[in-house]
Amino acid sequence: MSFYCQELPYHSDAASYFAAIADLPWAAWLDSGGMARFDILTAAPHHTVAPDKTDPFALLRSELGERTSSVADIPFAGGALGYWSYDLARGLMNLSAREAGSPPDMAIGIYDWALVLDHHKKTARLVSHRRYAETEVLLEQILRRLQAESIQPADNFSVQGRISCNFTADGYAAAFGRVQGYLQAGDCYQVNLAQRFSAAATGDALGAYLKLRALSPAPFSAYLSFPKVQILCASPERFISIREGLVETRPIKGTRPRDSDPVRDRRLADELSRHPKDRAENLMIVDLLRNDLGKCCKPGSVRVPELFMVESYSNVHHLVSKVVGKLSEGCDALDMLRGCFPGGSITGAPKLRAMQIIDDLEPDPRGIYCGAIGYAGFDGNMDSNIVIRTLVYSGGEICCWAGGGLVADSQCEAEYQETLDKASAMLDLLRLYGGRFDLAG
């Protein structure tokens, strides 16, 4: 069947369009945060995929079926979209099992349509490969919703009581000391250590997500409303992108807080760009990702066109690099995702040993945190983020995390403060909805 494309009025903010479909099952919004080119909105998948005992990436490949042709300026018109949790990697890397959380380790919808907003060309297009017979009727229903007068979603979200943390300052210091012992012993070169914040909550989280994206806009944000979980993601970090065989990853390593004084703020950014520790930390992860990309890229194609670039966000400056390559013949996007999963920027190096140490030191499983949200299209293209700066709302509890890469010359107090800087927008959001937080908690 021919490709379906219906033009709609362009909105610079996709929120009103998402409100029109937010009540549909498995509603998903890959959100540019006003900082990147595309927003992708979809819902009501043809069917869904959860992990079983088979390789989850091979399972998805079988669900995607025969590849379709890609369409210029349309990043996604159907395919697999959802999340892959950090703990999904346990089966891939032979890590010991930990107590499973409520949301499954993978939740993917196989969608046959999307609304794509192109903020460069200022277009909004309802698109579909029309792979399934049922899609024709669904497109008519979706179009009516998108053309109707927009309705502001009710904001009934609430956070109850104290926001707790799974590390005290002293507990973090003890874990930091153990990481330093591993580093000095030569077990590893870098370990990402994270702390988890949690609180009881009620209501629907869409209103909270709309406030989060105002507090902390980011180019790889996402909101997923799935049966067992709502995910509010304000990630600044791309994991793996593949378009017409060109592969890109953009690891973040190195952080400084923003300052309200422009002179001091610029000084912090300059310090980050030049600091030997931050550059060394970033380079370790760049080397790890060069190796990961090399598993599925043509020999000699992997290169680093951008190294140690400073990107500034609402509450932090980040040191960012870019690694690119060309996909090998016989490899596809899911091979690449599997070969790089989970992202090295949120494990450390070498990856397996760093993950074993994380298991030993962090009190709780990471679950969705540090996994990936994104899509693998029917056309073979893919984009995904690293799930950081993210709140996960499930079973009456909302959780968020913040971590940082520890190396031999890291300073405990500075690293602990960095986690609080990274968590600041999320904690501000929870306070806005009634949560109470103090460092003793």
**Residues assigned a catalytic role:** 237, 253
DSSP single-letter state for residue 102: S
- Residue 88 to residue 111: CA distance in whole angstroms: 22
Question: Could you please report the per-residue DSSP string of 133-192?
Answer: TTHHHHHHHHHHHHHSPP-PPP---EEEEEEEES--HHHHHHHHHHHHHHHHTTS-SEEE
The sign of the CA dihedral 293, 297, 299, 305 is negative
| Tokens, residue 330 | 């016989």
- Residue 53 to residue 345: CA distance in whole angstroms: 27
**Tokens 């996402």 belong to which residue?**
222
Question: Cis before residue 350, ω within 30 degrees of 0?
Answer: yes
- Torsions phi, psi for 346 (to 5 deg): -115, 15
**Tokens 């190796």 belong to which residue?**
291
